[in-house]
Amino acid sequence: MDSPTVEAGMNLEFLRPLVKRAETRIVLLVVDGLGGLPEAEGGPTELERARTPNLDDLARRGICGLHEPVGAGITPGSGPSHLALFGYDPIRYQLGRGVLEALGIDFDLGPDDVAARGNFCTVDASGKITDRRAGRIGTDKNRDLCGLLRKVAVPGVQVFVEPVKEHRFVLVLRGRGLSGDISDTDPQSVGKTPLDPVAHTREAEPTAKMVAEFVSRARDILAGHHPANMIVLRGFSKRPAWPTFGDIFGLKAAAIAAYPMYRGLAKLLGMKTLATGEEIADEFATLERHWDEYDFFYVHVKKSDSAGEDGDFERKVRVIEEVDAQIPRLMRLRPDVIVVTGDHSTPAALKMHSWNPVPVLLWSRYCRPDSVERFSERDCLAGGLGPRFPATDIMPLALANALRLEKFGA
């Protein structure tokens, strides 16, 4: 599927002409999976349990609330939830599966590349799939097989085959006039043979032929590599031609993220990604180092989400406390606007992303503080931003507080 050819969303179309330049700096600190749930009935959430004197101080001086990334009851993936934080309506702006997978390894997708998510799989003598994940082969084996597949020459295009984890890889075709409007070869069930890639439009026919050629060659190469003796592909898509974050908001934006997925996403929107280390403190050191070069910083902390996904309540508490300890460094930089939030909730009690609204704290000289005294889910309910506001409100609020929006109308 081609990524939907979306115009700038209603919000963005409205906002863009109001944007003005200013000498102010905004920091959007995303603590991934920040929102939580009580471990036991009546108990505190992860954030409520954490000792966060610095965030509490910001909450006291700022304005708080809870956002919903996509809508009531909707549990978002990291792609849609980040798009929403960045001001892009996540229902209007949807990324294809192949593009998301390429972002996940921070692959530098060109505007004409077509990406697909690939699985190594097992087929029997008749060609029918017996295991859609090839027994979850190890990542090392995956890397070797990708090395073999990379040697496939398809006339007219350059072929990239990049390992992800276990049985997963990314296929990228680079060439002219390619289209992502091609059906999956993955039948999504065992007992069936992989499907032929079918072009949904006339324009996609040459690309479908190239994919078929690649798959046919891959079959030959993998024949002796049971259980990974075949591949299936899905989510053919191109990098969308969306307006960039910088163009819309008039910001020189940089992303500081230890994890490739988030760098990939930021890059897709035209942000500059800054090299950083694995630790939270490394990310704040990167922020300090580049402070004078940008006027918008997206700082992403991954470990809170990982702890939530692992169901590790206490570890998530500690990650939040680790973030809190970095806040004084941030304050010393004298930013004009700080937003601290998560992209979604990842309660340890659920061991997964959830639909529960996400605490938000916005601080600026002009934010009009509310009565919230602590940064927590329960306290933010009484905040001035409201208990369930759309995440896409965050960017206009940040810009306004940075005195970067003109008056609307006379």
Does residue 383 touch a second copy according to CB under 8 A?
A: yes
Nearest to 7 by CA among 184, 235, 243: 243
Radius of gyration of the chain (CA): 23
- 311: contact with a second copy by CB under 8 A: no
- Asked if 352 is part of the footprint of a second copy (rule: CB under 8 A), the reply reads yes
Residue in 169, 101, 165 with CA at minimum distance from that of residue 138:
165
Q: Please identify, among the stretches 39-47, 213-221, 246-254, 269-277, the one whose residues bind a second copy according to the rule CB under 8 A.
A: 39-47
Asked whether position 178 contacts a second copy by CB under 8 A, the answer is: no
Select the span of 73-81, 133-141, 171-179, 279-287 touching a second copy (CB under 8 A).
73-81
> How many Å apart are CA 82 and CA 104, to the nearest integer?
13
Shortest distance in whole angstroms from residue 149 CB to a second copy: 23
In whole angstroms, the minimum distance from the beta carbon of 336 to a second copy comes to: 14
Provide the minimum distance between the beta carbon of 171 and a second copy in the complex, in angstroms, as a whole number. 17
What are the structure tokens assigned to 235, written together? Answer: 């989510």
**Residue 356, interface with a second copy (CB under 8 A)?**
yes
Q: Which stretch binds a second copy (CB under 8 A): 35-43, 121-129, 238-246, 282-290?
A: 35-43
Nearer to a second copy, 92 or 329 (CB): 92
Residue 294, both tokens:
């940008």
Burial of 278 (0-12, 13-18, 19+ CB in 10 A): exposed
Q: Among 9, 90, 175, 180, indicate the residue that binds a second copy (CB under 8 A).
A: 90
Q: How many residues comprise the chain?
A: 410
Q: How far apart are CA 66 and CA 374, in angstroms?
A: 13
Per the listing, tokens 């972002």 go with 103
Tell me how many degrees the CA angle 264-79-334 measures, rounded to the nearest 5: 70
- Buried (b) or exposed (e) across 130-167, using 16+ Cβ within 10 A? ebbbbbebeeebbeebbeebeebebeebebbbbbbebb
**Under rule CB under 8 A, how many of the chain's residues touch a second copy?**
67
Query: Which residues of this protein are in contact with a second copy, per CB under 8 A?
Result: 14, 18, 37-38, 41-42, 45, 61, 65-66, 70-80, 90-91, 94-95, 97, 100-101, 347, 349-350, 352-357, 366, 368-371, 377-378, 381-389, 393, 395-401, 405-410
